[in-house]
Chains A and B, each alone.
Chain A
Amino acid sequence: QQPVQSPQAVILREGEDAVINCSSSKALYSVHWYRQKHGEAPVFLMILLKGGEQKGHDKISASFNEKKQQSSLYLTASQLSYSGTYFCGTGGHSGGGADGLTFGKGTHLIIQP
């Protein structure tokens, strides 16, 4: 089943913060976050594995609550380059290899100067 992302779209001023949520009705093994700019391929941001960990690099971080079956992506002090569509992808039951991902419908993020 497809994870549900919220909000569908958000418009920010440069320097503001944003939170994008991703929830699933299925038990999660992993959550992947990607960003896609118009006309380009999705680009990997980070992966979170079950265990409730939080990850981050630069001003983008994410959390994964296994019990609640949800993940959140945090963008702080947003920059113009953060504009794009953010997708969460959920992996299933991996034990012996990589999993194909089920992606949410995406969150469109627009950063204005």
Chain B
Amino acid sequence: DAGVIQSPRHEVTEMGQEVTLRCKLISGHNSLFWYRQTMMRGLELLIYFNNNVPIDDSGMPEDRFSAKMPNASFSTLKIQPSEPRDSAVYFCASSFLTGTGNYEQFFGPGTRLTVL
């Protein structure tokens, strides 16, 4: 069974350009999380969805960031316009809440974004 799929794996862009990161959830999962990792700030939660509904976007740094789930298995994270300080590894993770309260989060391989 395929894991979480992210694309692109690497993205290099110039300041001011629009960047779109993509994520495909594991089949059957109903929760989607976007995290960002940098040396300075560590692993930060940006936003997460349960059953396609955004639950908490308080981690989204600015209005330049937006995330959507156009369907139950796919999500995009858009940065417009991008800035050098957005350079980071962006992970998406998916999970399924079981009856026991377990919701292991499966992380995708990440997208390494460099904004010049």
Contacts and interface: CB of A to CB of B under 8 A. Distances in A.
Interface of A: 2, 30, 32, 40-44, 47, 49, 87, 89, 94, 96-106
A92 to B, nearest CB: 9
Contacts of B105: 32, 44, 98, 101
Contacts of A96: 50
B116 to A, nearest CB: 21
A87 B43 contact: yes
Contact of B104 (A47, A97, A99, A100): A47
Interface residues of B, number: 29
A23 B52 CA distance: 31
Interface string B6-45: 0000000000000000000000001101010000001111
21 contacts: A32-B104, A32-B105, A40-B109, A41-B107, A41-B108, A41-B109, A43-B107, A44-B104, A47-B102, A47-B103, A94-B97, A94-B101, A94-B103, A97-B31, A98-B33, A98-B105, A99-B48, A100-B33, A101-B45, A103-B35, A103-B45
Contacts of A102: 45
B94 to A, nearest CB: 9
Contact of B59 (A41, A44, A97, A100): A100
A87 B107 CA distance: 13
A42 B50 contact: no
Interface string B36-69: 0000001111011011000110010000000000
B103 A98 contact: yes
Nearest first, the 7 A-B pairs at minimum CB distance are: A97-B50, A100-B48, A41-B107, A98-B103, A98-B31, A100-B45, A103-B43
Contact of B97 (A32, A43, A98, A100): A98
B104 to A, nearest CB: 5
A49 B42 contact: no
Given A97-B50, A100-B48, A100-B56, A44 B106 contact: yes
